[in-house]
Amino acid sequence: MRLWGHPIHPMLVHFPVVFWTVAAVAYVAAATGVEAAATVATFSNGAGLIFAMLAMIAGLIELRAIAGDGDAMRVAISHMTAMGAAWFCFMLALVMATAAGARLDKSTAQLTGAGGACAGFLLLSVGGWLGGRLVYEFGIGVTGRRK
């Protein structure tokens, strides 16, 4: 899927990468007692979840560019799985933050949220590396070089 010749998936992916990275740091800071960080974590995570959902839609459409079930498709499936799992980990962190105090002991909720965000960040890193392989190793989304 392209916009004026530019693939849309790579245009979108930077947003969840940045928002989730900020959120992961903020969740850890909140769990170590920095009160203001909890708000940053919630908003940054929420934005990351929305942009990641948009990136997933564009990524699923981009899957059509991969022919057959060879190595590129296997890497694409691993990339998709890692990013899907990252999404669920960050969603868990968000749910935990909203449960803090009301339905769950605050420190337990904060620790679980930080754990979920850290796991999500690790999955995001693995998924990003696999996404890079798709482009720079298999040339997915690359239309050709101008000399």
Interface contacts to ligand HEM, rule CB under 6 A: 7, 9-10, 13, 16-17, 52, 55-56, 59-60, 62-63, 76, 79-80, 83, 124, 128, 131-132, 134-135, 140-141
The nearest distance, CB 38 to ligand HEM, in angstroms, is 23
Whole-number minimum distance, CB 80 to ligand HEM, in Å?
Answer: 4
Query: For 39-44, which contacts have Cβ atoms below 8 Å and span 24 or more sequence positions?
Result: 41/93, 41/97, 41/113, 41/117, 42/94, 42/97, 42/98, 44/19, 44/20
DSSP, collapsed to helix, strand or coil, labels residue 104 as strand
Cβ proximity to ligand HEM, 79 vs 100, nearer residue: 79
**Token pair 């022919």 in the structure block, residue:** 67
CA-based torsion, 15, 107, 38, 96: positive or negative: positive
Centre a 10 Å sphere on the Cβ of residue 129 and count the other Cβ atoms it contains: 11
Handedness of CA 127, 27, 38, 106 (dihedral sign): positive
Task: Return the number of the residue (9 or 100) whose C-beta is nearest ligand HEM.
Answer: 9
Closest separation between CB of residue 129 and ligand HEM, Å? 9
CB nearer ligand HEM, residue 40 or residue 125: 125
Nearer Cβ to ligand HEM (40/80): 80
Question: CB of residue 81 vs ligand HEM: minimum separation in angstroms?
Answer: 9
Q: Which is nearer to ligand HEM, 36 or 53 (CB)?
A: 53
Shortest CB 101 distance to ligand HEM, Å: 30
Nearest-angstrom CA–CA distance, 109 and 113: 6
